[in-house]
């Protein structure tokens, strides 16, 4: 039987611009809300972000609105333990395992 511990972390990612003009274009689109998320930027430039490994930090329950930041799952992907609150599709609190 296989078990996993999943951990939610805070990290930064970086996308390198090819030129100052490209950076100014993206900056303008972010300011005007034409691009909203990092996914929007990556799609627009047809490029992906690289994770900056040196700045990865553990996420606390407070950082995640008391929702789990650590979960143990079984081989079927079912959560058998978590360190925070869990809610169903209707927003009802589910008691911890």
The pLDDT, as a whole number, for residue 42 is 97
What sign does the dihedral 30-36-38-44 (CA atoms) show? negative
Enter the pTM of the model.
Answer: 0.65
Per the structure, the complete domain to which residue 26 belongs is given by 4-94
The pLDDT, as a whole number, for residue 29 is 98
pLDDT beyond 80 at 88: no
Q: Which residue has the higher pLDDT, 22 or 88?
A: 22
The pLDDT, as a whole number, for residue 95 is 66
The pLDDT, as a whole number, for residue 44 is 98
pLDDT beyond 90 at 16: yes
Count the domains in the chain: 1
């Amino acid at each position: 039987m296989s078990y996993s511990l999943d951990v939610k972390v805070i990290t930064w990612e970086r996308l390198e611009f090819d030129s100052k003009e490209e950076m100014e274009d993206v900056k303008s689109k972010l300011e005007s809300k034409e691009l909203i998320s990092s996914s929007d930027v990556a799609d627009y430039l047809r490029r992906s972000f690289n994770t900056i490994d040196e700045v990865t930090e553990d996420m606390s329950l407070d950082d995640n609105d008391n929702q789990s930041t650590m979960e143990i799952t079984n081989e079927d992907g079912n959560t058998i333990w978590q360190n925070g609150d869990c809610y169903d599709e209707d927003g009802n609190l589910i008691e911890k395992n």
